[in-house]
Structure 1
């Protein structure tokens, strides 16, 4: 069994549809979905703003690497091209944190899957939506468990202000009252 925090983003094409494809692709493993935020690009490459969200997923059959492989399949289906580091993309699915049976957080230094994500603690566009789905989340940083809220508070105010709420939602529509669905 594993539970994972996935950060998803898109700034090319139908950005919202690309994000929704992650929810659809991991259904019924989706436990919680954050609101959608608009954020400036990170990493210094000139490009359009991103839509970002965090998805909490859980599956008794999945290991941490399965989340990475599933995310890559979804990126490929969205015609993701990896040419420029931190460049524009149709879809980006990052495994931020993962825990296997018993809740023990996975650690990995594999360049393909570094866990916990080595830059998550520096990125408000990950931390803010993560707190929406797990208000008491903690992340290991330099060998210490730190509340995600404290990590966010430690970021520059401009970094935090650059993560703007949108009116978009990735949550499945609720059936109308009185419907049989």
Structure 2
């Protein structure tokens, strides 16, 4: 078996049902425990208004993950964690309130189109303050492949309500 070089991936974490901060911390712990994950660095937690959805405010964070997992392997690991933490995807309901949401936002410098299963960079990440703010906290020089520096999109999302809450738990693991 060939050893894979580690890649840095960005995962967006969000929840707006139950104890959302605890759910995000538990998701980060489980991500760190995935085989092939070397380390996880999590942003502060943020509160944001739902975008294109109803329901209570979300708690969001970003995690930078060093991994040897391939993109689909990482995605499937994230989906398994969502199921284990009680995520339900009602048929035909887009952006329903959720106990946990884990989105693979970036995978190194790759642009991946395996729609509908996986599109990286996440197609709307540059339009979401709740994605950009935590990402830029972790990596102020972050670049969205095919679009440019993530900080260039902050002005376009400045009207979206977002509030930094505090530490998300900057754990290392793997």
With the length of structure 1 as denominator, give the TM-score of the two structures: 0.82
User: How big is each residue's C-alpha offset from its partner over 1:89-145, in whole Å with a ceiling of 9 and x where there is no partner?
Assistant: 00000000102xxxx4242242111111111010010000000111100113xxx44
Does 2:33 correspond to 1:25?
no
1:50 corresponds in structure 2 to 58
Q: How many pairs align? A: 161
Structure 1 residues 172 and 115: alpha-carbon distance in aligned structure 2, compared to 1, 3 A threshold: closer
Alignment of 1:160-175 (within 5 A): 162-172=161-171
Does 2:16 correspond to 1:11?
yes
Does 2:115 correspond to 1:110?
yes
What secondary structure, in the 3-state scheme, does the structure 2 residue paired with 1:68 have? helix
Aligned-residue CA RMSD (Å): 1.7
Structure 1 runs not aligned, ≥5 long = 174-181
Structure 1 residues 167 and 134: alpha-carbon distance in aligned structure 2, compared to 1, 3 A threshold: closer
The structure having more radius of gyration, on CA atoms, is: 1
CA distance in structure 2 between the aligned counterparts of 1:63 and 1:106, rounded to whole angstroms? 13
CA contact (8 A) 2:45 2:168 kept: yes
Structure 2 runs not aligned, ≥5 long = 1-5
What secondary structure, in the 3-state scheme, does the structure 1 residue paired with 2:74 have? helix
User: How big is each residue's C-alpha offset from its partner over 1:145-177, in whole Å with a ceiling of 9 and x where there is no partner?
Assistant: 41100011233x311xx110113532249xxxx
CA distance in structure 1 between the aligned counterparts of 2:162 and 2:38, rounded to whole angstroms? 26
Stretch of structure 1 that moved more, 106-115 or 65-74: 106-115
Q: Of residues 34, 58, 64 in structure 1, which corresponds to 2:71?
A: 64
